[in-house]
Structure 1
Amino acid sequence: MKKIKEIFTRVKELQHGDNEDVTDLIWQLICYSPKFPLRLQQQQLIDEAAPFTLEVDDPHFSQSILKFNGFIWGNGNRKVLITHGWSSKGADFIDLITALRTIDNLQIIAFDAPGNGSSEGELSNLILFAKSTEAVIKTYGAPDVMIGHSLGVMANIIAIQQTGIKPSLLISITPMVKLRENFITTMNSADVPKAAQDRFFERFNEIFNVPTSYFNLADMYQDEIAVKHWLAYDQEDKMAPFPYTQELLNRHPIIGFKEYPDATHERIIKDPRLIEDVLELIRNQIN
């Protein structure tokens, strides 16, 4: 957290300057993901897993091949793949993974996306999240169940589209629906001037060859992406505003959903109500 606070402070200090330093700092503000150490129980969970390391190409930031770490629990015939959100890691799903391990015949796979957790990378982005998800799918096979949280929801959907798989159950928890609006909120919190924000979006388009507005789940989503899709949200979520989620649900009524009041964006993956419902959904779908 210390580094992101330093970046935030420097952006505020340089916000009135018309120079490249501001643009470079904005990229760090948007794309630096703080890494938090494992707690004791999380480390014990990781110690019980079969570890693996895969690689993804990062042509945009490091211009290199990045290694990312993953973890497998169980050797059942039914696969569950978990994709974490921004500034998170696979072990943050400790409560859900522990509960999933009580279900027979499951193989549970989680990973740390590049720039997050134990994996390589200084800066990260949605494309690296999606590429990592694709790499896991191509290495270990199509999962029966895919679970994503926050940015991990969008990464899962991109990976499904890129690999052509069709999971039996797709579970989306407090999804990041509009990437551009999330970036704007982050920049506004650091008082980044409109002109500097515009330069950032122009540069994003040049680097990734697509505008940030493309990454809108309501537009990207295809109704036949999974046999069943279920979404969990908290209407008071400050990180993933409910009006965006509501737009996604209104435009794609095939998606089932449930609200978890007071769960919050970060803690919802630990919420006992959610975990109980996820276990029931998985048992009903794979049995």
Structure 2
Amino acid sequence: MKRLKQIANSLKATAENPDNALMREFIFYSPKMPLRIHQEELIASAKFFSLEVYDPYFTQSKLGINCFSWGNGKTKILLTHGWASKALDFYELIIELLKIEDVEVIAFDAPGNGSSVSDLSNLMFYADGVKAIALNYAVPDFVIGHSLGSMANVIALQDLNLSPKMLLSIAPLIRLKEKFAQSLTSVGIAGFHQDRFFDNFAKEFPVRASHFDLVGLYEGNRNFNHFVAFDPEDDISIYPFLKEFLDKFPEVNAKVYEGVGHYKILKSADVINDLVEKISSVK
């Protein structure tokens, strides 16, 4: 978190003529928060394994992913965390999922997050992490994602042509470019400087940032059994964007949880109870 504050302060001080490299680091740097005691206790009981993804963007090398699992049941439940997060931020949900009979709960720290090493991170590291687990460890029966992790799950499942028994998205991020813009605006970067950043993004990555929009990326003909939990007042998973997605794909089952916000939604007893009930009812 200290490094992110330093970058933000530097950008605020130079907002009239921001350095593109610093804007790039600000967008792709994911601060790491230490584990709390109860999280340390849960991770100590996990089975640990590691996988790799290739990083064609920053280092042109393989990056390790630290993965964890609890239980050894035949029903596999995969958890994909959000930006600046980690597997153990699903602590409360993991505890309740393990009460379901005959399950294995699998989670991972995406590169640049939690315990997995990388100076920078991006959405495709998350999606590639999901793919690595499905291809090299276990094909998940249920896939749960929070925020950016929800978008990563959709990308990975569609790329692998997988249809789990249920896809569950918690406060899903719908438009990545707009989240980038929101972050840059928060440190005083004007629109024309942001345009320059996004032009450079398109040169570095195979597609423009606007490509990562679930309204366009989501393949409705796959007929995912998809449940979305959200708070309409969420200031990160913006409701008008989510509404556009839900209006286009009315087959997606969505439920409002008021007053939980973007991060506390992971700890909401109502949300957790509903997720556990839905999984239990179809497993």
Q: TM-score range by the shorter chain?
A: over 0.9
Which of 189, 193, 196 aligns to 1:196? It is: 193
State the Cα distance separating 1:194 from its structure 2 match. 2.3
Q: What letter matches 1:172 in structure 2? A: S
- C-alpha separation in 2, matches of 1:185 and 1:225: 31
Query: For the structure 1 residues 125 and 198, does the alpha-carbon distance in structure 2 shift closer, same or farther, using more than 3 Å as the test?
Result: same
Q: Is the contact made by 1:167 and 1:226 (CA closer than 8 Å) also made in structure 2?
A: no
The one of 51, 68, 74 equivalent to 1:54 is 51
Shift of 1:29: 1.1
Contact map agreement 1:54 1:69 (CA 8 A) in 2: yes
Q: Distance in 2 between matches of 1:269 and 1:135?
A: 24
Name the SS for the 2:130 alignment partner. helix
Q: 5+ unaligned residues in a row in structure 1: which ranges?
A: none
Q: 2:238 aligns with which of 237, 241, 244?
A: 241
Mapped pair 1:181 → 2:178 = yes
Distance 1:143 1:46 in 2: 20
8 A contact 1:172–1:232 mirrored in 2? yes
How many angstroms apart in 1 are the aligned matches of 2:192 and 2:54?
Answer: 32
Partner of 1:213: 210
- Give me the CA root mean square deviation: 1.0
Percent identity between the aligned chains? 42
SS in 1 for 2:210: helix
Aligned pairs for 1:1-287 (under 5 A) are 1-17=1-17, 22-225=19-222, 227-286=224-283
Amino acid across the alignment from 1:208: F
Moved over 4 A (4+): none
TM-score by length of 2: 0.98
Classify 1:244/1:227 alpha carbon distance in 2 versus 1 (closer, same or farther; 3 Å): closer
One-letter amino acid of the structure 2 residue matched with residue 188 of structure 1: T
SS in 2 for 1:61: coil
One-letter amino acid of the structure 2 residue matched with residue 3 of structure 1: R
**1:88-128 CA-partner distances (Å, limit 9, x unpaired):** 00000000000000111101100000000000101100011
- Any stretches of 5+ residues in structure 2 without a counterpart? none
Q: Write the deviation string for residues 29-80 of structure 1: whole angstroms up to 9, x where unpaired.
A: 1111110001011011101110011111111112221111010101111100
CA shift for structure 1 position 224: 4.1
Q: How many angstroms apart in 1 are the aligned matches of 2:181 and 2:99? A: 42
Letter in 2 for 1:5: K
Separation (CA, whole Å) in 1 of partners of 2:206 and 2:39: 38
Matching residue's letter, 2:78 = L
Distance 1:158 1:197 in 2: 26
> What one-letter code is carried by the residue in structure 2 that aligns with 1:127?
M
* C-alpha distance in structure 1 between counterparts of 2:171 and 2:222, whole Å: 18
2:213 corresponds to which letter in structure 1?
N
